[in-house]
Amino acid sequence: MVRACVMTAPDEPVEVRQLPEPTLEPGGVVLRTIYSEVCGTDVHLWHGRLAGVPYPIIPGHVSVGRVEATGGEVRDADGQVLVAGDTVTFLDVHENCYSCWYCLVAKASTRCPKRRVYGITYSASEGLLGGWSEKIYLKPGVRIIRLPPTLGPETFISGGCGLPTAFHAVERATIRLGDTVVVQGTGPVGLCACVFARLSGALNVIAIGAPRLRLDMALEMGADHAISIEDAPASRRVQIVHDLTSGRGADVVIEATGVPAAVAEGLEMVRDAGVYSVAGQYTDAGDVTLNPHRAINKKHVDIRGTWGTDFSHLYRAVQMLNKYRERFPWTEMISRYYGLEQANEALRDVEAGRVVKAVVRPGAG
Ligand SMILES: [Zn+2]
Ligand SMILES: [Zn+2]
């Protein structure tokens, strides 16, 4: 039997249950989980804020583990055969169909209606398909990345799902050399976005968030300026961005807050003909009022949504993480490790913003 956390229904305590060992199919892989993560999405899942979630589920969508067994010859994304003991991660999104209109014509696979996501849209009755578990079953076709030997599992999990999400948001933002970039939000997505904006050639990166601990971390993760939302009201924050950009506003603004009001504020921070990349509104947190004449049309602004990640974002983000593993203090984003029995505490800590990144360590007992 395998010990796993099960989220039985919205707003019910997460339970640790004994579940059957996975049945290995040809092309499948059994992982012994090293780390999984708790992110804001898990808190939303806990409160039933995502549609179409097949409770009971095993949460945990981004994880890293050690290969325990493979169903015959299974290869990673580089074509190398996986062997027992390899440290790997995988794209949580599975079963993109590559035969629907969105996959084939729009080439927007993150909007494929057939996609399923580990830890979110698989039921616990379908197997060990979430990371808050001693083992994870990778179904045939799951896209696997072997971590480079120099990249430790702690470093990988420190950004968690924030790492590929930020990578995608920065890719969508098309930062140019010498741009001034504002990053709204200093959670894992925002902090990783500061790094990727810096590495994209930004001249100045301005992080906006709270609390002080996260702002200090932003300064170590590539930001040149850190503005506290606790010290400066919205109008003042907009003014500071304009003061730092000769009154024009930032070339690029990346939203990673999850707060609808931040979108109206971000549109005031972006310069005319700039780019606004929205990545933080992953759940429906409500409406916001804005003036479309001033905020969009007259501004000639390019607004880009960022939904989910595809394999390229995770793959490239892992390679970049490995390359710059010593330049930025990635693992300082990990505030605390939690055993499976502490999952409810981890959810409460993430919800209250007491931690930057909460990591689940199923082996901790
Ligand atoms: Zn599709
Ligand atoms: Zn997540």
Supply the pLDDT for residue 365. Answer: 46
Secondary structure, 3-state, the chain: CEEEEEECCCCCCCEEEEECCCCCCCCCEEEEEEEEEECHHHHHHHCCCCCCCCCCECCCCCEEEEEEEECCCCECCCCCECCCCCEEEECCEECCCCCCHHHHCCCCHHHCCCCEECCCCCCHHHCCCCCCECEEEECCCCCEEECCCCCCHHHHHHHCCHHHHHHHHHHHHCCCCCCEEEEECCCHHHHHHHHHHHHCCCCEEEEEECCHHHHHHHHHCCCCEEEECCCCCHHHHHHHHHHCCCCCCEEEEEECCCCCHHHHHHHHHEEEEEEEEECCCCCCCCCCCCCHHHHHHCCCCEEEECCCCCHHHHHHHHHHHHHCCCCCCHHHHEEEEECHHHHHHHHHHHHHCCCCEEEECHHHC
Structure confidence at residue 283 as a pLDDT band (50, 70, 90): confident
Supply the pLDDT for residue 159. Answer: 87
Ligand 2 centroid to residue 62 C-alpha, Å:
7
Structure confidence at residue 347 as a pLDDT band (50, 70, 90): very high
Ligand 2 centroid to residue 41 C-alpha, Å:
5
Q: Point out the ligand nearest to the CA of residue 119.
A: 2
Ligand 2 centroid to residue 354 C-alpha, Å:
17
What digits encode the pLDDT tens for the residues 58-114? Answer: 999 999 999 999 999 999 999 999 999 999 999 999 888 889 999 999 999 899 998
Ligand 2 centroid to residue 38 C-alpha, Å:
7
For residues 230-236, give the mean pLDDT. 95
Ligand 1 centroid to residue 62 C-alpha, Å:
21
Q: Point out the ligand nearest to the CA of residue 114.
A: 1
pTM of the model: 0.96
What digits encode the pLDDT tens for the residues 146-163? Answer: 999 999 999 999 989 999
For residues 50-64, give the mean pLDDT. 96
Ligand 2 centroid to residue 82 C-alpha, Å:
26
Ligand 1 centroid to residue 171 C-alpha, Å:
22
Mean pLDDT of the chain: 96
What digits encode the pLDDT tens for the residues 168-212? Answer: 999 999 999 999 999 999 999 999 999 999 999 999 999 999 999
Ligand 2 centroid to residue 198 C-alpha, Å:
23
Q: Point out the ligand nearest to the CA of residue 350.
A: 2
Q: Evaluate if residue 364 carries a pLDDT over 70.
A: no
